[in-house]
C-alpha cells in the first residue's frame, strides 16, 4: 500500500514538472516570435508590455512548479529568503552597472 502512495506522489510530481515545463516553453516562445516578427504589425509599446507580462508570468511559473513555493503561512520564511535574495541580486547588478557607467564617463569622457 505504501509503494502505491509513493508511486502516486511521484507521478503527480512528474506531472507538475511537465506542466511547468510546457507553460515555460510557451511563455518563452511567444515573446521570441513577437520580437522576431515585430516589423509587421506590433508597436514597440505593445511589445514591451507583452515581454514584461511574460517575464512576470515566467517568474510565477518557476516559483510554483519548479521551486514548489505556495502561498501558505507555513512557507513564510521561504518568501522572506526569496525577497532577500532578489534584493541582494538587484544591489549587485545595479551597483555593477553604476560602477561601469562611472568608469565609462571617467575614462572615455561624456
DSSP secondary structure, 16-75, as one string: HHHHHHHHHHHHHHHHHHHHHTHHHH--HHHHHHHHHHHHHHHHHHIIIIIS---SSGGG
Kindly state whether residues 59 and 6 are assigned to the same domain.
Answer: yes
Kindly state whether residues 64 and 108 are assigned to the same domain.
Answer: no
Kindly state whether residues 64 and 78 are assigned to the same domain.
Answer: no
Kindly state whether residues 53 and 88 are assigned to the same domain.
Answer: no
Kindly state whether residues 51 and 22 are assigned to the same domain.
Answer: yes
Kindly state whether residues 62 and 97 are assigned to the same domain.
Answer: no
Q: CA-to-CA distance for 80 and 68, rounded, in angstroms?
A: 15
Kindly state whether residues 64 and 79 are assigned to the same domain.
Answer: no
Report residue 1's pLDDT band, with 50, 70 and 90 as the boundaries. Answer: low
Structurally, how many domains does the chain consist of?
A: 2
Q: CA-to-CA distance for 109 and 103, rounded, in angstroms?
A: 9
User: Which pTM was predicted?
Assistant: 0.67
With a pLDDT cut of 90, the percent of the chain lying above it is: 41
Kindly state whether residues 14 and 41 are assigned to the same domain.
Answer: yes
Report residue 109's pLDDT band, with 50, 70 and 90 as the boundaries. Answer: low
Q: CA-to-CA distance for 42 and 93, rounded, in angstroms?
A: 31
The whole domain housing 90 covers 73-110
Grid cell 509503494 — which residue? 3
pLDDT at 42 over 90: no
Kindly state whether residues 32 and 78 are assigned to the same domain.
Answer: no
Kindly state whether residues 81 and 106 are assigned to the same domain.
Answer: yes
Amino acid at each position: 500500500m505504501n509503494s502505491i502512495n509513493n508511486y502516486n506522489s511521484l507521478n503527480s510530481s512528474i506531472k507538475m514538472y511537465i506542466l511547468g515545463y510546457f507553460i515555460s516553453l510557451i511563455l518563452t516562445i511567444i515573446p521570441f516570435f513577437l520580437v522576431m516578427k515585430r516589423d509587421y504589425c506590433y508597436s514597440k509599446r505593445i511589445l514591451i508590455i507583452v515581454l514584461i507580462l511574460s517575464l512576470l508570468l515566467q517568474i510565477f511559473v518557476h516559483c510554483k512548479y519548479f521551486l514548489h513555493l505556495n502561498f501558505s503561512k507555513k512557507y513564510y520564511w521561504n518568501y522572506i529568503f526569496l525577497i532577500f535574495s532578489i534584493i541582494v541580486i538587484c544591489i549587485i547588478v545595479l551597483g555593477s552597472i553604476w560602477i561601469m557607467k562611472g568608469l565609462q564617463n571617467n575614462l572615455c569622457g561624456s
